[in-house]
Amino acid sequence: MKRTFLFNAILIVAFNSVNAQQSTNPKDTEAWSPVPKMVSFQNTPADAIILFNGGNLNQWLTVKDKSAAKWTVKDNIFTVNKGTGNIETKQSFSNYQLHIEWLIPANITGSGQARGNSGLFLASTGVGDSGYELQLLDSYNNSTYSNGQAGSIYKQAIPLVNASKKPGEWQSYDIVWNAPVFNDNGSLKSAARVTVLHNGILIQNNVEIKGETVYIGAPFYKKHGPSPIKLQDHGDPSEPISFRNIWIREL
């Protein structure tokens, strides 16, 4: 009896599969739900959270003491104010799409890592330089280690190409970030992944992140939840980097 039931079940599945393949009605393969939400795009997507639009740094805090961000705002841009420390968003995020524009000054000096160095931490997990860093640097005509140039996931992932513009020209990153997921015991369930376009060119293609950025040694994971996004006051002696037009869409 059990064999007969199993045989009949297999026949039914096979019949339905063949019947679906032989269907001549296009409606059989049409999905009408869920219906994607309508979103318009002009300067920013209609559903974006504006993190900086030229007016002030009200969406940002000094990382160290959570006071108001002390970087310089002028002419619809803001610039690293050296010595005032890293800044981060007031709001925390998990998965998101981020747009940010940045400028290496035309009168940049120095070489290697000391040439407009800053960092965009895709998730800030504490004070200092903790988190997952996407490098900001003048890499137009500036030699340094490949996993430390602009567009690298610092000390982890080399960019597919160098899409840098000359100093003095505005550049952009468009980022899709999928945060890591942790088990209740703190172990890693799924690693973070990131896709990055630099000036409209794909440079990181759904890259799996090995862990938080470290300067010396191997990256590692430690359990955390939704996190702010952080910008680095690196402290190198060259001219400071500037930013404008920053928005984010939660995914």
Q: 5-55: per-residue pLDDT in tens?
A: 554 555 454 555 555 567 788 878 767 778 687 666 667 899 999 999 999
pLDDT at residue 34, as a whole number: 82
pTM: 0.86
Average pLDDT over residues 164-183: 98
pLDDT at residue 3, as a whole number: 53
Average pLDDT over residues 75-87: 96
Q: Are 196 and 173 in contact (CB under 8 A)?
A: yes
pLDDT at residue 41, as a whole number: 61
Tokens of 89: 């968003």
Q: In this structure, what is the dihedral angle of CA atoms 232, 234, 239, 242, given to the nearest 10 degrees?
A: 0
Phi, psi at residue 230, to the nearest 5°?
-120, 145
| pLDDT, mean over the chain | 90
Average pLDDT over residues 62-79: 97
Phi, psi at residue 69, to the nearest 5°?
-60, 135
Strand partners, 131: 124
**Could you say which DSSP state residue 112 is in?**
T
Q: Are 92 and 226 in contact (CB under 8 A)?
A: yes
pLDDT at residue 120, as a whole number: 98
When pLDDT is cut at 50, 70 and 90, the band that residue 150 belongs to is very high
When pLDDT is cut at 50, 70 and 90, the band that residue 109 belongs to is very high
pLDDT at residue 87, as a whole number: 98
pLDDT at residue 31, as a whole number: 79
**Percent of the chain surpassing pLDDT 70:** 89
CATH code of the domain occupying 30-250: 2.60.120.560
Residue of 104, 103, 69 lying closest to 85 (CA atoms) = 69
pLDDT at residue 157, as a whole number: 97
Tokens of 74: 């002028």
Residue of 168, 166, 190 lying closest to 179 (CA atoms) = 190
